[in-house]
Each structure stands twice: as structure tokens, then as C-alpha cells.
Amino acid sequence: MNDRAHSLHAEAVDDFITEVVQSHRAGPCRMVRTSGVDAPDEWARYAWRYESATGEELLSGVDTVRLTPSGKIDAIVVFAGPLV
């Protein structure tokens, strides 16, 4: 786990993801949430798509996030690529 993304508010994680996608070898890319957020209790999940500046899908997946009682993100589990 990247320590910079541990126990942070959602805005800090968004900044971290933006930094990662802007440094992709394909050039500046963007992460697009493709579902609503399902958030029962301390867990949340949502689907996403990673796409190039032209809108081409480079990767898609689902993130599962565990939240602390204060609303900070404690852990992120990323499922990238198709489920076969």
C-alpha cells in the first residue's frame, strides 16, 4: 500500500489518483467513475474506467474502500481488468 494514500480524506485520494493518471506513459489520462457508490457501513465500492485523452478505454475495474469512523479512507482494494 502506498503510505501517501493511507488514512486520508477522499479529496486527498482524488489528488493522488490525479497525479498517477497524469503521469501515465500514454500521456495525460483520466479516471472516470462509471457507477454509483455502494456504501453500506464501513465499506464502499464503485466501478471506474481509466481512459486516454481521446476517450479510449485503457483499463476498467472496481475499487473497494474501507472507511474509518471519522470518514477517512483506511484501505483501498483495486480490482483492475475484466473478471473472467
Q: Using one digit for the tens of pLDDT, what is the confidence trace for 14-57? A: 777 777 777 777 777 888 889 998 988 899 999 999 888 889 99
Report the alpha-carbon angle 64-62-4, nearest 5.
55
Helix intervals (H) in 1-84:
10-22
- Tell me which CATH code domain 3-80 carries: 3.10.450.50
What letter would DSSP give residue 25?
A: T
Sheet holding 57-67, edge to edge: 30-33, 43-51, 57-67, 73-80
Residue spans of the domains in the chain: they are 3-80
What is the pTM for the complete model shown?
0.71
Average pLDDT for the chain: 80
What integer pLDDT is reported at residue 10 of this predicted model? 64
Q: Which residue shows C-alpha cell 483501498?
A: 76
Kindly state the helix (H) or strand (E) to which residue 30 belongs, with its residue range: strand 30-33
